[in-house]
Amino acid sequence: SSRWSLNGMTALVTGGTRGIGHAIVEELCGFGAKVHTCSRNEAELNNCLDEWRGKGFLVSGSVCDVSSQAHRENLIQKVTSTFNGKLDIYVNNVGANFRKPTIEYTAEDYSQMMAINLDSAFHLCQLVHPLLKASEMGSIVFISSIAGVVSLGTGTVYAASKAAINQLVKNLACEWAKDSIRSNCVVPATTNTPLVEHLLRNKKYIDEMLSRTPLGRIAEPKEISSLVAFLCLPAASYITGQVISVDGGLTVNGFQ
């Protein structure tokens, strides 16, 4: 039924060329949505767009560095014209991390990471608000991290930026409910993507992570994108303000 379909709906997914964002684009298209995505690398973006069109997915894309306000404004202009001033789904997926001991972060490291992870999320929400409001059933999904819930040695700046997103989601859910916009947060643990390739090769890190993960393995991007799609479905119409972990049980594991 239409409760379990995104047919005719429109979505913006940031960072769709790799990893979790790539899986989200495919998942939303699979449920019938039209998707616009972005990344910084034009060649990689065009390869993805060709591949998706070959699969019959309705995807468009533009080059955008979400840490720049000028780029964000261009992106939303593009989305406005592509989808005629209306957007049903906004997935804030882009995130980056440089791991260092806290005292070694430079001021530039700090502001760069905050710009990519948090400033982008906040300002894109401001820019996209009129489009989501026009939909009359808007849905925002943020991709946070369990690093914003528990301390995992991932670096303090990344953790703080993700924790800020976890709260932003709750406030937006309350403030924008009157505009029929829902806002939820998907919180992955270690997921098999290029972002963490170096960690996946680090046997000590992975062994420790897996020993604490009840399901005993890391996640695949599809296992994250499925929850994103569910939260955007009409079937999820009463779910807002939630921060939901997809972590194999890691964050609820006490001593065994």
Size, binding site for ligand NDP by CB under 6 A: 31
As given in the structure block, the two tokens for residue 256 are: 């065994």
CA distance 59 to 85: 17
Residue 196 binds to ligand NDP (criterion: CB under 6 A): yes
Stretch 197-256 residues interacting with ligand NDP (CB under 6 A) = none
2 SS3 class: helix
The token pair at 73 is 């404004």
* Spatial CA neighbour of 225 closest among 46, 34, 31: 31
Q: Give me the residues paired with residue 182 across strands.
A: 139
Beta bridge partners of 14: 38
Binding residue for ligand NDP, selected from 25, 29, 33, 38, defined by CB under 6 A: 38
| 12 vs 90: CA distance, rounded Å | 5
Tell me whether residue 150 or residue 236 sits nearer to ligand NDP (CB atom): 150
**Dihedral over Cα of 190, 194, 198, 200: its sign:** positive
Residue 135 as a binder of ligand NDP (CB under 6 A): the answer is no
Catalytic residues: 158
Write the binding mask 69 to 98 for ligand NDP: x where contact by CB under 6 A, - elsewhere.
------------------------xxxx--
Among 10, 12, 21, 172, binds ligand NDP (CB under 6 A): 21
The only residue of 195, 206, 210, 244 in contact with ligand NDP, by rule CB under 6 A? 195
Contacting residues toward ligand NDP, per CB under 6 A: 14-21, 38-41, 44, 64-67, 93-96, 116, 143, 145, 188, 190-191, 193-196
